Structure 1
Amino acid sequence: MIRTESDGDSADRAAREATGWFVRLNNPLATDDDRRAFRAWLDADPAHADAIGETRDLWDRLEAPANRLGASGWHREITPPRRRKRRTAAIAAALLATGFACLAIWRDAGLIDRAFADHATRPGERLEVVLSDGTRLYLDGDSALDASFAPAARDVTLLRGRAWFDVAPDPARPFIVHAGAIQARVLGTGFAIDRDAGSVVVDHGSVLVMVRGAQTVGLAANQRTALASDGALEPPTMVDPGVALAWRHGLIVLDAAPLADVATELARLEPGRLLIPDPKLAALRLSGVFRADDPDAIVEAMRAGLGLKAMSLPGVATVLYR
């Protein structure tokens, strides 16, 4: 999918933001500042009221069966007064709705980040965007970013996931990407940043990578750097962009990857979590080339190749064990 910032995707963004606000305001820890911020968001665009209304309608449809469940006596209330029974049923419904919200956030950790991002993708979704300056970017699954352009600079913040950029040249305005501790600065080039791995790979051109505003590493075409365990940037190393950026073409290349890293890859491919309770199993390594649209093949490779067993609740979690 390719879209531009002016393609009228405000409805999609409003829907994502409305979901985020609904979850945020139903949190018992929501503050008055949260509520004031929500009111400002609501007043900013008439489409926001429609979006929050549709979100509430969805949760209302869930509340009806919850009310029936609460009224059925599952909470073990013994001959309660009518008023108390109604109140208990309402509480049960609210708890059930809150439980649904918590489960949604647990199975999809990026839900909130994506709800408030300028551009975002769900697990299993990939998106190509053309920014207002002509820069093309490609978002992998479960990724989110904000773009803020000013006369003196073009700033992008990668909130989660990974993205590839083909930056439109503009000598008067450097293009700066912030991704956690890493900052990449370019004038016009093609490169990718992975926030989870703390890595930068250059396809063509050159990139200046900084960490915490101090250490600086310059990268040329076909080079990579990443955060080391001590928080410093590794020296540049040569890579094959066809392998390092295979995810852009719908392929997942695993080269003796620890299963903990495989779990991160799977989270980009489909909703739900891969759980490996045994640290010894999480340290096992997997190699292979897989299609991004077939995450089950990765799980099967762990089962057949590493002798593991898997127990799955589709869309929620898969547990690996022996």
Structure 2
Amino acid sequence: MPSPMPRWTPCGAGSATCRIANPRPPRPGSNKSRGPTGPACLAALLVLGSALAYRAGLADWVRADLWSGVGDITHATLPDGSRVDLNTGTALALHFGDRERRVALLRGEAVFDVVRDPGRPFIVEGGGLSVRAVGTVFYVRADGAGRPVGVAEGRVAVTAAGRPLEVAAGEALADGDAPRVVAADVARAMAWRDGRLIVSGERLSEVLAELARYRPGRILLLDGQAGARRVTGAFDPHHTDDALDAIAASLSLRVTRVTPLLVLVGSPL
């Protein structure tokens, strides 16, 4: 089944190093530096870090049967007729057999609408979790989210940190040292399928981290106190710049776009 290729490209290839421009000692009183300036070294390190991050992600794309690029939301039908929606930057591998249907969520987030087949349970593994379903609608995140599993219809059996838990419709798994089941607005958590990111009283730091998933590069929050402020609204994940501007206006914050790959969110104006 054809799937869209991710639309990101590596920021750099190979390695970047800081070389000494003049190995000889400088003349007395000379202001020349023997090496590149601090910003030059920082730039080299950023290029190297981007290259390493790209290579780490490439391994998941190579293993995947289905994937979505950064900023893309993809919908697909699995071999058994089940439906899957892939959020931004998601990769998964399929292992379907006569006795079970197993999915490895390599990265990202996906919603599964599972066709009922009691003889072949549907199992999703990702982010250190194992989620078992027969016929249900649920999401799984493999990106360290605080609520990595949520159920919209039916129920699933989850194994988290070696502990078995059952999550029913309208509930989510709250991750942590002692995973537990909590009531949740699962429909809101899955609204990205319809091109909406809905937040209600979330911390700014959490909202920025969510928006960052939908764009290449990084969003850096420069003010820890501002990060604790609360945000409520609905945003289009395909237009994260508009979302950033709307949030900045509502909280009187400063947004600085250094490059298309780096956005700084600063102190109140």
**How far off is 1:100 after superposition?**
5.8
**How far off is 1:207 after superposition?**
0.8
Q: Write out the 4+ residue segments of structure 1 that deviate beyond 4 Å after TM superposition.
A: 96-102, 104-112
Task: Specify the code of the residue in structure 2 equivalent to 1:226.
Answer: A
* TM-score, scaled relative to structure 1: 0.65
Query: Over aligned residues, Cα RMSD in angstroms?
Result: 3.4
Q: 1:155 aligns to what?
A: 102
Distance 1:148 1:299 in 2: 39
Q: 2:115 aligns to what?
A: 168
- Does structure 1 residue 303 correspond to structure 2 residue 252? no
Query: Is the contact made by 1:255 and 1:287 (CA closer than 8 Å) also made in structure 2?
Result: yes
Greater helix fraction, Structure 1 or Structure 2: 1
**How far off is 1:142 after superposition?**
1.4
Q: 1:233 aligns to what?
A: 179
- Does structure 1 residue 278 correspond to structure 2 residue 227? no
User: Which segments of 5 or more consecutive residues in structure 1 lack a partner in the other structure?
Assistant: 29-74, 78-95
The 5 A counterparts of 1:1-322 are 5=1, 7=2, 12=5, 26=14, 102-103=49-50, 110=57, 112-196=59-143, 197=145, 198-212=147-161, 214-228=162-176, 230=177, 232-239=178-185, 241-322=186-267
Aligned residues: 242
Query: Is the contact made by 2:152 and 2:187 (CA closer than 8 Å) also made in structure 1?
Result: no
Distance 1:190 1:204 in 2: 5
Between the aligned residues of both structures, percent identity stands at 32
User: Which segments of 5 or more consecutive residues in structure 2 lack a partner in the other structure?
Assistant: 24-42
Distance 2:236 2:47 in 1: 31
Deviations 1:192-245 (A, max 9, x none): 112231421111121111103x222212222222203x2x22223153x43222
Distance 1:125 1:106 in 2: 19
**How far off is 1:12 after superposition?**
4.8
Pick closer, same or farther for the CA change 1:12–1:297 going to 2, 3 Å. closer
Pick closer, same or farther for the CA change 1:12–1:290 going to 2, 3 Å. closer
Query: Is the contact made by 1:154 and 1:173 (CA closer than 8 Å) also made in structure 2?
Result: yes
* TM-score, scaled relative to structure 2: 0.76
Task: Specify the code of the residue in structure 2 equivalent to 1:133.
Answer: D
